[in-house]
Structure 1
Amino acid sequence: MKKVVLIPDSFKGTLSSSKICEIIGGRVEEHFPGCEVVSIPVADGGEGSVDCFLTALGGEKVHLTVKNPYFEDMESFYGIIDEGKTAVIEMAACAGLPLVEDRRDPKKTTTYGVGQLILDAAKRGVSKIVVGLGGSSTNDGGCGAAAAIGVNFYNEKGEKFIPTGGTTHEISRIDLSEKTRELDGIEIVTMCDIDNPMYGKTGAAHVFGPQKGADPEMVLFLDEGIKHLAEVIGKDLGMDLSVVPGTGAAGAMGAGMIAFFSSKLQMGIETVLDTVNFSEVIEGADAIFTGEGKIDFQSLRGKVVIGVARRAKKKGVPVIVVAGGADNDIEEAYEVGVSAIFTINRLPEAFETSRYKSVENLTFTVDNILRLAKSLKA
């Protein structure tokens, strides 16, 4: 083999996508000296997304002070890639759940810092901003981020305020007249891999509120607040986002990105493939290695493996999937472009045992795949 492209998702709880690239890349170089190895580690928009893009494409990490989930100053960052044309922002960098530690309270947390990151990137003259949703501590519908770019929120008394999850129900009017012009003409794409609506039993508060610290009573309170926000957005901005898939992502930040930032929501892998010019990258490749912790019917809904396979099929490049495990209902994967699927666990062991052998098991599996490829070529 003369060229191999590596584009794995992480194996949740065991191996990062960067570590997987390192392991597979090392075995490729061992068996096929001189082979060009292109590594594109993938993140889903949450923590680590900026580093994945920078690893794949190079670029610059920009550091700056913004507000954390509790409106306190913190050092955060975003990435600049594509010769300064594109900024990559992960909301977890300033609104992430780990940042609140033992203070989890989605009634009080804000996405204000995310808006500050977006605004700073815009001022640097980028033409495109990619925003990754995931791992948030918030339930403010993106109102905090919107306030950071000049969107004004008023209560019934006509007082301006910055809504949090606990005060979205107080919004009486939304005014975009003072929204910054710095974002005019900039394409904003939001990475979003879930299809939850803004509110309701499958909405932001009910599905994601508990992990952010909401008890059952608070979940109902937060859900009513987001429902109210949807109504005001409909009244003042003329948008019905109530049942748009993905608007419930990251405490309804998905809705805020559409309403306040004129962004489109896009599956994470599609964003990654577009950003790295995947169709061009795989030109002349002998094989593509991808994978995830478990490939199952969920993987067929536009996740990394299938997204990669569909584009690779158009170029006629074989796709080898290496996964921690594989379910029985994945025949469709072969139809859309996957050439073969290999699982790394060699013995019938519980995950709590095998997870600590992931490096060893992945190395062994890839080693044997490459031995087979080498023998067939010979």
Structure 2
Amino acid sequence: DGGEGLASILTFHAKGHSIKTQAHDPHNRLIEAEYGISGDNKTAFIEMAQASGLQLLKPEERNCYYTSTYGTGELILNASQNQQVNEIILGLGGSATCDGGMGMVQAMGYQFLDEHGNELEGIGANLSKITTIDDRHLKVALSGITIRVACDVANPLTGQKGAAHIFAPQKGATPQHVEALEKGMENLAQQIKSAFGKDVKYLQGAGAAGGLGAGAVGFLNGTLEKGIDLVMEQTKFEAQVKECDYVITGEGKIDRQSLYGKVINGVSQLAQKYNKPVIALGGNIESDPELIKELGLKAAFPILTEPMNLQVALVNTYDQLRFGTFNIGQTIDSCK
């Protein structure tokens, strides 16, 4: 729905291939990252988590006040310059950042200056210091590239449901940092409106991935789309549902949030159109029978086979999921 795995799935369905390149991680260390190119070489599939994801950092390194999306910008730049694509599908999800896309577009040539004319590093801590945005030194012409942004949240950039208040604490920010980031996002929105005439402050999805949604719209002329809708379109999912007997889907956590633009909600709505039963698997299920029915599911099962902490569960996800799908398959087979 916009998070990890998006690029590989879309690349596979587009009969494409992967491109490996160097990029900088959220703490500016050089790493190897990859993105996908469609079989016709016209579309690049990029996950921001590849270069700017939380999984790249140790727990003690996670504080989005100091991290940057610079590496994501490098991937976009590589696809634009070296592959000469005319469309980019950018997945937002799993981010370690809250810089509003400042780092991303800095990698592409944008400069952010403080009141003294000094260039600022593209990190969340510097958002409130921006007084000037300079776009005279861009490394690529984006006017000929369509950028579609896949996200699974509708949060605005600012406010109590915005990027800082909702997501920053999940990425290591202290209460003091959250307040500072909120002021920074307010300033970023004002600067984008002043420089480009775009109001991203309350735009649905602008707060996704630490405000990267706002940055993609404000700086790259991107359009925000529900990740699940975009994936279903690209994979021709509806045609597959029409021909199947059952649909098996899943999420890391199945709870009330699953009703709002997430994978299960999108899959269930389409399956109901063709009267196909949907069964879901989840790493954690925080729901009751009424919510399961509200989600349009026939059943939902947790994949854990014994008590374990999150770290152990993550390591064993593949085996647990495989066992869960095996049991569902056996049950369906026995009912034929």
The residue identity in structure 1 corresponding to 2:291 is D
Which SS does the other structure have where 2:299 is aligned?
A: strand
The residue identity in structure 1 corresponding to 2:21 is L
Which SS does the other structure have where 1:78 is aligned?
A: strand
Q: Is this contact kept in 2: 1:344–1:365, CA < 8 A?
A: no
- Alpha-carbon displacement from aligned partner over 1:18-53 (angstroms, at most 9, x marks no partner): xxxxxxxxxxxxxxxxxxxxxxxxxx3233332333
Deviation at 1:150, TM superposition (A): 2.0
Deviation at 1:151, TM superposition (A): 2.0
More relative contact order in 1 or in 2 (CA 8 Å, sep 6+)? Answer: 1
> CA–CA distance in 2 between the matches of 1:333 and 1:213?
32
- Tell me if 1:344 matches 2:301: yes
Which SS does the other structure have where 1:166 is aligned?
A: helix
Q: Is this contact kept in 2: 1:67–1:74, CA < 8 A?
A: yes
The residue identity in structure 2 corresponding to 1:91 is M
Deviation at 1:77, TM superposition (A): 1.1
CA RMSD of aligned residues (A): 2.9
Deviation at 1:308, TM superposition (A): 2.5
| Unaligned runs of at least 5 residues, structure 2 | none
Q: Which residue of 2 aligns with 1:95?
A: 52
> CA–CA distance in 1 between the matches of 2:219 and 2:130?
15
Distance change >3 Å, CA 245–CA 131, structure 1 → 2: same
The 5-angstrom pairing of residues 1-378 of structure 1 reads 44-101=1-58, 102-123=60-81, 124-282=83-241, 284-292=243-251, 295-314=254-273, 316=274, 318-324=276-282, 325=285, 327=288, 328-334=290-296, 341-344=298-301, 359-372=322-335, 374=336
> CA–CA distance in 2 between the matches of 1:292 and 1:152?
39
Q: Is this contact kept in 1: 2:64–2:172, CA < 8 A?
A: yes
The residue identity in structure 2 corresponding to 1:81 is S
Deviation at 1:235, TM superposition (A): 1.6
Which SS does the other structure have where 1:308 is aligned?
A: helix
Instruction: Give 1 or 2 for the bigger CA radius of gyration.
Output: 1
Q: Could you tell me the TM-score, scaled by structure 2's length?
A: 0.84
- Alpha-carbon displacement from aligned partner over 1:302-359 (angstroms, at most 9, x marks no partner): 2223322434455x3624323345631344444xxxxx61233699987879x78654
The residue identity in structure 2 corresponding to 1:234 is K
Distance change >3 Å, CA 333–CA 161, structure 1 → 2: closer
Deviation at 1:263, TM superposition (A): 0.9
| Unaligned runs of at least 5 residues, structure 1 | 1-43, 335-339
Deviation at 1:226, TM superposition (A): 1.4
- Alpha-carbon displacement from aligned partner over 1:273-311 (angstroms, at most 9, x marks no partner): 122122344454444333445655433322223322434
Q: Is this contact kept in 2: 1:115–1:145, CA < 8 A?
A: yes
Distance change >3 Å, CA 166–CA 85, structure 1 → 2: same
Deviation at 1:116, TM superposition (A): 1.0
Q: Could you tell me the TM-score, scaled by structure 1's length?
A: 0.76
> CA–CA distance in 2 between the matches of 1:286 and 1:358?
20
Deviation at 1:117, TM superposition (A): 0.4
Q: How many residue pairs align between the two structures?
A: 323
Distance change >3 Å, CA 100–CA 234, structure 1 → 2: same
Distance change >3 Å, CA 63–CA 251, structure 1 → 2: same
> CA–CA distance in 1 between the matches of 2:114 and 2:253?
47
Distance change >3 Å, CA 209–CA 292, structure 1 → 2: closer
Q: Is this contact kept in 2: 1:141–1:255, CA < 8 A?
A: yes
The residue identity in structure 2 corresponding to 1:365 is I
> CA–CA distance in 1 between the matches of 2:116 and 2:279?
58
> CA–CA distance in 1 between the matches of 2:158 and 2:98?
11
The residue identity in structure 2 corresponding to 1:250 is A
